[in-house]
Structure 1
Amino acid sequence: MSFQGYLRSRVLTQSLFDQYIVEYLCKGCLPVYHTERREFRKFVSRLCPTMKVGTRKYYRKKIADGFLQQKAHLKKKLADALWMCSTADAWSCRRKSFIGVTIIHWISPDLSRQSACLAVRRVVCTCNYEIIGKLLEAINEEFEITTKLTCTITDNGNNFIKSFKVFGTKNDESQERAPIQSVDLSNYQTDNSHFPQAKPRSMSSQVFRHQTNNYLNEESITDILSDIKSEFHESSEEDGLDDAEYADLVPGIRKIGADNGTKDKKQFVQDGKPDEGAVNFLPLTDILKKKASSRTIYCFPKHRRCACHLLSLVAKKDIFVGLDASLKNLMDSTEKKLLALWSKQNRSSKAADAIYASLDGLFVINNKTRWNSYFDALVRVRHFLNTKKADLKKLFTHFKIDYFRPAEEEFIKEYVKVMRPISEALIVLQADIKVNVECR
Structure 2
Amino acid sequence: MTRLTLRSMIDDASKGMKKAVTEAMRGVDHIATTTDCWSVRRWSFIGVTAHWIDPDSLKRCSAALACKQLRGSHTVDVLANALDIHSEFEIRGKIQRTTTDNGSNFIKAFQVFGEDENNNAVGSDGDASQPGEDQEGGEEVEFVDVSVLLNEDDGLEFQLPKHQRCACHLLNLIATVDAQKATSNEAYKKVYRSTFGKCNALWNKCGRSTLAAETVEDACSLQLLRPNATRWKSLFLEQAVERLLRIIKDKGEGTIRVLCTDLKVSM
User: Is contact 2:115-2:151 (8 Å) kept?
Assistant: no
Match of 2:191 in 1: 333
The alpha carbon displacement at 1:153 in A equals 0.8
Structure 1 CA distance for aligned equivalents of residues 190 and 29 of structure 2: 52
| Equivalent-residue separation in structure 1 for 2:10 and 2:114 (angstroms) | 36
Kindly state the Cα deviation for residue 80 of structure 1 after the two structures are TM-superposed: 2.2
Q: Distance in 1 between matches of 2:110 and 2:39?
A: 21
- Which amino acid is 1:155 matched to? D
- Structure 2 residue runs without a partner (length 5+): 119-136, 142-147, 203-212, 258-267
Is the contact between residue 133 and residue 167 of structure 1 (CA under 8 Å) also seen in structure 2?
yes
CA–CA distance in 2 between the matches of 1:76 and 1:377?
39
Deviations 1:342-389 (A, max 9, x none): 97xx98799979xxxxxxxxxxx77411322334279x99xx9xxxxx
- Aligned-pair distance for 1:71? 0.9
Kept after mapping to 1: 8 A contact 2:53/2:59: yes
> 1:366·1:377 contact (CA, 8 Å) conserved in 2?
no
Q: Is the 8 A contact 1:166 1:295 kept in 2?
A: no
Distance 1:315 1:77, change over 3 A: same
Task: Please state how far the C-alpha of 1:162 moved relative to its aligned partner.
Answer: 1.1
Q: Distance in 2 between matches of 1:295 and 1:171?
A: 11
Match of 1:373 in 2: 234
Give the Cα–Cα distance (whole angstroms) in 2 for the partners of residues 97 and 377 of structure 1: 20
Label 1:337 to 1:114 Cα distance change in 2 as closer, same or farther (>3 A): same
Give the SS at the match of 1:161: helix
Task: Letter of the 2:235 partner, please give it.
Answer: Y
User: Is the CA contact 1:85–1:105 (under 8 Å) kept in the aligned structure 2?
Assistant: yes
* Higher strand proportion: 2
Q: 2:75 maps to which residue?
A: 128
Cα distance between partner residues in 1 of 2:232 and 2:74: 25
Residue aligned with 2:237, SS: helix
**C-alpha separation between the residues in 2 aligned to 1:58 and 1:324?**
58
Cα distance per residue 1:220-242 (max 9 Å; x no partner): xxxxxxxxxxxxxxxxxxxxxxx
Q: 1:349 to 1:305 in 2, by over 3 A?
A: closer
What TM-score results when the alignment is normalised by the length of structure 1? Answer: 0.37
User: Structure 1 residue 71 and structure 2 residue 71: aligned?
Assistant: no
1:163 matches 2:109: yes
What residue in structure 1 maps to residue 161 of structure 2? 301
Q: Summarize the alignment of residues 92-241 of structure 1 with structure 2, pairs less than 5 Å apart.
A: 92=39, 97-101=44-48, 103-108=49-54, 109-124=56-71, 126-136=73-83, 138-170=84-116
Local SS of the residue matching 1:313: helix
> Do the aligned partners of 2:115 and 2:161 also contact (CA within 8 Å) in 1?
yes
Aligned residue for 1:317, secondary structure, equals helix
The residue aligned with 1:237 is: none
Over 3 Å counting, the alpha-carbon distance change for 1:157 and 1:296 in structure 2 is farther
How many residues in Structure 1 have an aligned counterpart in Structure 2?
Answer: 206
Q: CA separation in 2, counterparts of 1:66 and 1:348?
A: 39
- What's the CA shift for 1:161? 0.6
Return the TM-score normalized by structure 2. 0.57
Q: List per-residue Cα deviations over 1:126-147 (Å, max 9, x = no partner).
A: 43223322332x3111111112
Aligned to 2:172: 312
Cα shift at 1:74: 0.6
- Deviation digits for residues 274-311 of structure 1 (CA, Å, limit 9, x no counterpart): xx99999xxxxxxxxxxx97643433222111223222
**Contact between 1:91 and 1:97, CA under 8 Å: does it hold in 2?**
yes
Structure 1 vs Structure 2 CA RMSD:
4.5
Q: CA deviation at 1:94?
A: 5.9
State the Cα distance separating 1:77 from its structure 2 match.
0.6
Equivalence for 2:125: none
CA contact (8 A) 2:183 2:189 kept: no
Instruction: State, as a whole percentage, how many aligned pairs show the same letter.
Output: 32
